[in-house]
Amino acid sequence: MPSRKKQKGKGKSMLKKEIRLFSNATPAEIIRGIHCGKHGAIRALAGFVSQNKGSVPYDERDGVIEALLRNLQRCDESLASVFGTAQDRPSAIVTLPAFCLSTLLRVETESHNKQEVCRKIADGISPVIKCMVHERRVFFQSTESWFESMKHFITLVYRITHKQRETWLSVMKHDGLLPFLGQAVCWSQCRQDIVGGFHTSNMTVPQEEIISTVHSIAFFLSQESKDFGVSVPIGCKLLTRIGAVAIAKGSELPAIIGMIRSYGYMCQDRDISTDISRNQLTDIITTLIWGGCVDETVMKELVELRDVCPEFVARCMARIICSSDSRFAGALRSGLFATTLSICAQLGRQDVCFHLFEGLQSGIPADELASGMIHVLYMLRLHDKTHKVLGSMATLDFQGLEDKLEHISRDAQVLVCANCLRTFDKKALKWCKGTNMLEPFCSMECLRESWDAKACADFGAVVEEDDDKRLISLKRNILQAGSKVFRDTVGIVMREYGQAIARGQGLTTTIDLRKFPPCVSSGLPSVDPSGCVHVTFIAEDFRGSKDGGGRRVLVLRKRFAV
């Protein structure tokens, strides 16, 4: 760490001498002095800015941008003794970081070539970002100065990224910026319970510009922009960094929770925000959720807003339903799924609006959203985590879809013997060890009968060498759900094809578990005249879909002795 001792030749007399020296200096001499780290040059520039009523008396071609960035690049604690302390402020300039940032803002505003100016600033603000993120208060000299610098910094980032895609990527590459913006969105509400005790009394953060900045970056990251080197997986990873960072030091509360609470406060007290900021914050939260920044804690936080902003809760759930098995299970466990169903029942045909980026809006009737949620749940019901949660909870309810919901619950809770096809209590469960416990039996007798008839699911045909536990569980649940359907249809099949089976003719049956009710089709062509029914089960495999791999179809085959 650099020494904080007073540097040689930097006493008050030397400071006064430098100030007098630069008071009559040419623009080129002042800029050269700034490059050399002469604090007298900085103060001379501040004097010029003050005399010109806030206007910077230089063109960007004079090198003032590079000079200011050069000062910001010298962010180390030794500068505290060079540029004075907070006690000097009444008779001197604003502390170094705040002045440099505010002056860069003025240069950008008065520039004739904004694109080039923004590019230079975007490439050169990395050191001050590090100091800002780590809250190096010695460099900023006080909490108030740090906060003042933060306001200028946020505004600067907003200016150089707003509607300028060329600078977005440069800014986003700086370490720590994205998490810092996520924290700043929460700080903008100045709510002590949101930020974990972060003291913001008598300090205001530029709320509109913070939210607009994060909104623009979230939109950019949610698109596949190959021209700028951002793919969807990379964008999702960066979005997660915005929402998952802790709000304040020592806090375990992630920024997305703070954003959700902020939105709730906005809805309760509309005087603290505008419609634009609320809509943009909605976009940010839903985009972070889409990018993967969601867990059961986030879902429980959304449930708390059920009475405050129900439509917002439904919008967030609409993003989660296209997610993975584990997140869907979290939505069931946290109560978010049931809460959203009740919201949709309350809203009926009213549209749940989705405020898209670039000012576009879209919407879907609430009852159609509920139907879509239940459809996805039906497709996911056999996956490991979702299946376990459904097996331990009461049947869900939504008017008009009771049969489908009851079918979903029954698949998770009712056991059917793989031999006699009768339902039985879980306490009587017997597993066929030779088939890696793929099929349940109600007794040892049924297990022996199935084994002797060679009707147990062939382990080699069902489970492959690279199958993990969750895939084996999915296959087991598919065999169980398919056995229930076969039990309910075997009477019809036997009446139609019983004579052919009695003559030793084999029978093939296909059961498509993706449809409701499951689609069953049978035919006589068979692989061998064994007197068995060869059943093919088809189900949805969601594994990998959240990573852009797409949904797959899983096909399993089993024989039933008749």
CA 559 – CA 494 distance, rounded (Å) = 15
pLDDT at 190 over 80: no
What value does the mean pLDDT take over residues 533-560? 77
Higher pLDDT, 528 or 532: 532
517 contacts 544 by C-beta, under 8 angstroms:
no
In this prediction the pTM is 0.79
Highest mean pLDDT among 57-61, 102-106, 182-186, 302-306: 302-306
User: Do 540 and 429 share a domain, yes or no?
Assistant: no
Relative orientation angle of helices 255-268 and 275-290, to the nearest 10 degrees: 150
pLDDT > 90 in the chain, percent: 19
* Mean pLDDT of the residues in the chain: 78
Tens-digit pLDDT profile for residues 388-446: 999 999 999 999 999 999 999 999 998 898 888 898 887 778 776 666 678 888 888 88
Q: 198 falls in which pLDDT band (50, 70, 90)? A: very low
CA 503 – CA 479 distance, rounded (Å) = 28
User: Do 519 and 378 share a domain, yes or no?
Assistant: no
In a domain, 156, yes or no: no
Q: Which stretch of 100-109, 324-333, 349-358, 537-546 has the lowest confidence by average pLDDT?
A: 349-358
Q: In this structure, what token pair is assigned to residue 211?
A: 């939210």
pLDDT > 70 in the chain, percent: 75
Task: Give the pLDDT confidence score for residue 360 in this predicted structure.
Answer: 54
In a domain, 383, yes or no: yes
pLDDT at 2 over 50: no
User: Do 451 and 489 share a domain, yes or no?
Assistant: no
In a domain, 265, yes or no: no
User: Do 393 and 470 share a domain, yes or no?
Assistant: no
Tens-digit pLDDT profile for residues 71-120: 777 665 445 444 444 444 433 444 567 778 888 888 888 777 888 888 88
For residue 362, the cross-strand partners are 354
CA 220 – CA 88 distance, rounded (Å) = 43
User: Do 555 and 532 share a domain, yes or no?
Assistant: yes
In a domain, 134, yes or no: no
Q: Give the structural domain span for 330.
A: 294-456
Domain count along the chain:
2
What value does the mean pLDDT take over residues 120-133? 77
Tens-digit pLDDT profile for residues 295-335: 999 999 999 999 999 999 999 998 887 768 888 899 999 99
pLDDT at 58 over 70: no
For residue 173, the cross-strand partners are none
448 contacts 426 by C-beta, under 8 angstroms:
no
Q: In this structure, what token pair is assigned to residue 287?
A: 């985009």
Tens-digit pLDDT profile for residues 233-250: 788 888 888 888 887 666
Task: Give the pLDDT confidence score for residue 217 in this predicted structure.
Answer: 82
What value does the mean pLDDT take over residues 172-189? 77
CA 196 – CA 80 distance, rounded (Å) = 29
User: Do 411 and 467 share a domain, yes or no?
Assistant: no
> String of b and e for 318-350 (b: at least 16 CB within 10 Å)?
bbbbebbbebbbbbbbbbbbbbbbebbeebeee
- Provide the pairing of β-strand 552-561 with 423-424: unpaired
User: Do 439 and 469 share a domain, yes or no?
Assistant: no
User: Do 440 and 315 share a domain, yes or no?
Assistant: yes
In a domain, 505, yes or no: yes
CA 246 – CA 257 distance, rounded (Å) = 10
For residue 539, the cross-strand partners are 554
Q: 61 falls in which pLDDT band (50, 70, 90)? A: low
Residue finishing a domain among 438, 456, 474: 456
User: Do 398 and 476 share a domain, yes or no?
Assistant: no
User: Do 499 and 533 share a domain, yes or no?
Assistant: yes
In a domain, 480, yes or no: yes
Q: Which stretch of 165-169, 201-205, 213-217, 397-401 has the lowest confidence by average pLDDT?
A: 201-205
In a domain, 331, yes or no: yes
pLDDT at 139 over 70: no
User: Do 490 and 413 share a domain, yes or no?
Assistant: no
DSSP state of 538: E
Residue finishing a domain among 432, 456, 480: 456
Q: 138 falls in which pLDDT band (50, 70, 90)? A: low
In a domain, 33, yes or no: no
Residue 222 gets the label, from left (phi > 0), alpha (psi -120 to 50) or beta, of: alpha
User: Do 492 and 448 share a domain, yes or no?
Assistant: no
What value does the mean pLDDT take over residues 219-246? 77
Residue finishing a domain among 402, 431, 456: 456
Task: Give the pLDDT confidence score for residue 197 in this predicted structure.
Answer: 42
